Structure 1
């Protein structure tokens, strides 16, 4: 008999070659499994909600672990963190229902892509923002207008990298907001799930709009043409963070999705 726990895991992506375990390279899943096996040598590999690319950060990587004995959740959190390096941490722990599986039962995710602006990159934020150089600030009104045709359910082939192995390019984007902050802009993406590099390609394309290099009314046609070569560049990974995940309400993990359950 094993005891399932749901963990919320955060990590700074610069030190990792993504979440998924690697044979020789460091990964979030690999680090967490090593910490878990220090407590429970026969523990199976932790299962995350989804992959993050090399260099991408996470504030809310939902993870299922199984242990051979029962733990008080805070003690499990503290014990795991004692065996983890400073750039990855278990932020919360709770018992999980026996049949819960984070990847299968996630219904929506929020990613935030952070942009920096100004004459020079802020050294205290540079590890977490893509600094967009330019004499003029990004045109946020144009970027917001350009984002509108991306909302809803579409074939997002134009924003899918060649290495993506998803069975279908159809995804639903619930929200896409441009939020100005001192020294930068946050692009907030909320949807059912995302294709490999989808958010980063969308971010790179919206930056082109904000720089005046692409028309704000052009993204609807870009979606329709289904051609990755016509979209913008893939934004660098260090600006991207997995911020939140919503799960099916029946499992009692976090708050219910504001967009309801998947059909």
Structure 2
């Protein structure tokens, strides 16, 4: 008999070649499994909610693990963190119900892409933002106007990378908010799920709008084209962070999704 636990894992992505375990490159999944096996040698591989690309950060990667005994959650958290490097941490541990799988039962995610603005890059934020070197300010109202055609359920082929292995390019985007902050701006994406590089490609395209290189109304045509070459550049990974995941309410793993659940 094994005991399932659900972990909330955070990591600074700069030191990882993504979440998914790899043969010879460092990954979040690999580091966590190594830490778990230090005191649970027979533990199966931890299962995450979803992949993050090399260099992408996470504040709320949901992970299912199985242990051979019924740990007290805080002691399990402390034991894992004692065997993990400082750039990856278990932030929360709780028992998981039988039959719960984070990847299958996630219904919505929030990603934040952070842009740095201003005449010089903040060295303390350089690992967590894409700094836009530009004398003139980005046109944030134009960027906010441009997102309207992307909201809802669409074929996002124009905003997926050529290596994306998803069976369908159709995704539901609940919202994109543009929130100015100290020295930069956050682009907050909320949706049912995302294609490979989708957030980064949308971000790169919106930055082109902000620079005046594209009209805000043009993104509808880009979406309709279903052609990756029609969209903008892929924003670099260091600005992107997986911030929150919502799961099916029946499992009791956090608050329910504000947008309901999939049909």
Q: Taking structure 1 as the reference length, what is the TM-score of the superposition?
A: 1.00
The correspondence of residues 177-196 of structure 1 with structure 2, limited to 5 A, is 177-196=177-196
The correspondence of residues 140-155 of structure 1 with structure 2, limited to 5 A, is 140-155=140-155
Question: Are residue 113 (structure 1) and residue 113 (structure 2) matched?
Answer: yes
In the other structure, the counterpart of 1:70 is 70
Task: Name the SS for the 2:45 alignment partner.
Answer: coil
Task: Name the SS for the 1:39 alignment partner.
Answer: coil
Once the two structures are TM-superposed, the CA of residue 70 in structure 1 deviates from its matched residue by 0.6
How many residues align? The count is 263
Question: Residues of 2 paired with 1:73 and 1:227: CA distance?
Answer: 47
In the other structure, the counterpart of 2:27 is 27
Question: Residues of 1 paired with 2:167 and 2:137: CA distance?
Answer: 39
Question: Residues of 2 paired with 1:51 and 1:226: CA distance?
Answer: 24
Question: Residues of 2 paired with 1:33 and 1:148: CA distance?
Answer: 41
Question: Residues of 2 paired with 1:138 and 1:101: CA distance?
Answer: 41
CA offsets per residue over residues 161-203 of structure 1, 9 Å max, x none? 0000000000000010100001100000000000000000000
Give 5+ residue unaligned stretches, structure 1: none
Question: Are residue 229 (structure 1) and residue 229 (structure 2) matched?
Answer: yes
In the other structure, the counterpart of 1:260 is 260
In the other structure, the counterpart of 2:137 is 137
The correspondence of residues 1-263 of structure 1 with structure 2, limited to 5 A, is 1-263=1-263
Question: Residues of 2 paired with 1:125 and 1:233: CA distance?
Answer: 22
Question: Residues of 1 paired with 2:165 and 2:178: CA distance?
Answer: 29
Question: Residues of 2 paired with 1:259 and 1:178: CA distance?
Answer: 19
Task: Name the SS for the 1:128 alignment partner.
Answer: coil
Once the two structures are TM-superposed, the CA of residue 39 in structure 1 deviates from its matched residue by 1.2
Q: Taking structure 2 as the reference length, what is the TM-score of the superposition?
A: 1.00
Question: Residues of 2 paired with 1:156 and 1:126: CA distance?
Answer: 30
Give 5+ residue unaligned stretches, structure 2: none
Question: Residues of 1 paired with 2:242 and 2:182: CA distance?
Answer: 21
Following TM superposition, the consecutive aligned residue runs of length 4 or more in structure 1 with deviations greater than 4 angstroms are none
